[in-house]
Amino acid sequence: MRFSVDAHAIGRRLTGNEVYIRNLLRRFADLDPASSFIAYVCGEEAAPWIPAGFRRRRVSRSPYMRLGFDLSQKLREDRPDLVHVQYTAPLGCPVPVIVSVHDISFLHHPEYFPAWRAWQLQCTVRRTVRAAARVLTPSEFSRRSIVKAYNLTEESVVVVPNAVSSDFRPRSRENASREVARRWGIPSPFILTVGDLQPRKNHAGLIRAFEELIRHHPQLPHHLVMVGQETWYGSRVRRAAAESAVSGRIHMTGFLSDEDLVQFYSACEIFAFPSFYEGFGLPILEAMASGRAVACSNTTAMREVADASALLFDPRSTGEMMRALRDLAVDAELRTRMERLGHKWAASFSWDRTARKTLDVYYGVARPASSAGRLQAKSVTVS
Q: Are residues 193 and 157 in the same domain?
A: no
Specify whether the CB–CB gap between 221 and 245 falls below 8 A: no
pLDDT exceeds 80 at position 381: no
Q: Are residues 212 and 119 in the same domain?
A: no
The domain that contains 262 carries what CATH number? Answer: 3.40.50.2000
DSSP state of 189: S
Q: Are residues 119 and 253 in the same domain?
A: no
**What confidence tens digit (pLDDT) does each residue in 304-324 have?**
999 999 999 999 999 999 999
Is residue 383 in a domain? no
In 273-297, which positions are buried (b, 16+ CB within 10 angstroms) versus exposed (e)? bbbbbbbbbbbbbbbbbbbbbbbbb
Regarding predicted confidence, which is higher, 368 or 53?
53
pLDDT exceeds 80 at position 241: yes
Q: Are residues 8 and 132 in the same domain?
A: yes
Q: What size, in residues, is the chain? A: 383
Q: Give residues with Cβ within 8 angstroms of 280, minimum separation 6.
A: 16, 102, 103, 138, 139, 142, 161, 162, 301, 305
d(CA 337, CA 326): 15
Q: Are residues 57 and 155 in the same domain?
A: yes
Q: Are residues 298 and 361 in the same domain?
A: no
Q: Are residues 325 and 355 in the same domain?
A: no
Q: Is the peptide bond before 189 cis (omega within 30 degrees of 0)?
A: yes
Q: Are residues 90 and 155 in the same domain?
A: yes
Please give the distance of CA 91 from its chain centroid, rounded to a whole number: 26
DSSP state of 6: E
Q: Where in the sequence is the domain holding 245, given as residue range(s)?
A: 173-346
Is residue 254 in a domain? yes
Is residue 100 in a domain? yes
Residue 219: Cβ-neighbour burial (10 angstroms; 0-12, 13-18, 19+): exposed
Is residue 185 in a domain? yes
* Across 161-170, average pLDDT: 94
Is residue 306 in a domain? yes
Q: Are residues 177 and 245 in the same domain?
A: yes
In the chain, the number of structural domains is 2
Is residue 101 in a domain? yes
pLDDT band per the 50, 70, 90 thresholds, residue 22: very high
**What confidence tens digit (pLDDT) does each residue in 348-371 have?**
999 999 999 999 999 999 976 444
Q: Are residues 266 and 361 in the same domain?
A: no
Record the pTM: 0.92
**What confidence tens digit (pLDDT) does each residue in 176-213 have?**
999 999 999 999 999 999 999 999 999 999 999 999 99
Q: Which is nearest to 2 in space by CA: 72, 111, 77?
A: 77
Q: Are residues 134 and 244 in the same domain?
A: no
Q: Are residues 342 and 356 in the same domain?
A: no
Worst-scoring range by mean pLDDT, 2-16, 36-50, 69-83, 221-235? 2-16
Is residue 372 in a domain? no
Is residue 74 in a domain? yes
